[in-house]
Chains A and B, each alone.
Chain A
Amino acid sequence: QKEVEQNSGPLSVPEGAIASLNCTYSDRGSQSFFWYRQYSGKSPELIMFIYSNGDKEDGRFTAQLNKASQYVSLLIRDSQPSDSATYLCAVHGSGNTGKLIFGQGTTLQVKP
């Protein structure tokens, strides 16, 4: 079992729709969870982080965390063509010196 798993996609949604991206992780001791966006040929950039169970909203983005189910998701409302990218889920392991592990990434395509 991979430490962090994501559906590689591609996930295709029409402009203005809600895009839902999902991630599961194996380390129950994980404390911090991140969503990165990576455009083709560029480096990953952080868009959201979440530490507690529940929802966290930032503009059009909502991160959801369920530690009991070891599940993290990212919702993008009112999707725009500029949101087309690969979205990487990252999990920070247990302890202060825990490593940051990434999923394979989900490619999102927003069609005008």
Chain B
Amino acid sequence: DAGVIQSPRHEVTEMGQEVTLRCKPISGHNSLFWYRQTMMRGLELLIYFNNNVPIDDSGMPEDRFSAKMPNASFSTLKIQPSEPRDSAVYFCASSSPFSAEAFFGQGTRLTVV
């Protein structure tokens, strides 16, 4: 298995633009997590899905952030409009129904200028 696949790996955008991050979880995994990592705040859970249903989005910082999981093999995290303080590394992770162990993608480094 190729593991969790995220795209793009790097994104540089101007303030006010829409940004869409993509994630393909490991096949057979039924939980998907979106995290944001910064030096100041560490690895923060933004939202997680179970069987494609959002279970807890209490970590989503503002209405500018939205996430979808239209099917078991794809999820998006959208920021509209983006702001410089959104600059961070965004990780997607997935886990199977048989273990709580989460496997991480390579991350997307987002820079908003």
Contacts and interface: CB of A to CB of B under 8 A. Distances in A.
Q: Binding site of B, secondary structure by majority: helix, strand, loop or mixed?
A: strand
B48 A100 contact: yes
Interface centre among A88, A98, A105 (most CB of B within 10 A): A98
A43 B106 contact: yes
Nearest to A101: B45
Interface of A: 31-32, 34, 43-46, 49, 88, 90, 92, 96-105
Interface string B15-40: 00000000000000001010100000
B102 interface: yes
A103 B95 contact: no
A92 B100 contact: yes
B50 interface: yes
B113 interface: no
29 contacts: A32-B100, A34-B101, A34-B102, A43-B91, A43-B107, A44-B43, A44-B91, A44-B104, A45-B104, A46-B101, A46-B103, A49-B101, A88-B43, A96-B50, A97-B55, A98-B100, A99-B33, A99-B45, A99-B55, A100-B33, A100-B45, A100-B48, A100-B100, A100-B102, A101-B45, A102-B35, A102-B42, A104-B42, A105-B42
Interface residues of B, number: 21
B35 to A, nearest CB: 8
Contacts of A49: 100-101
Contacts of A105: 42-43
Nearest to A43: B104
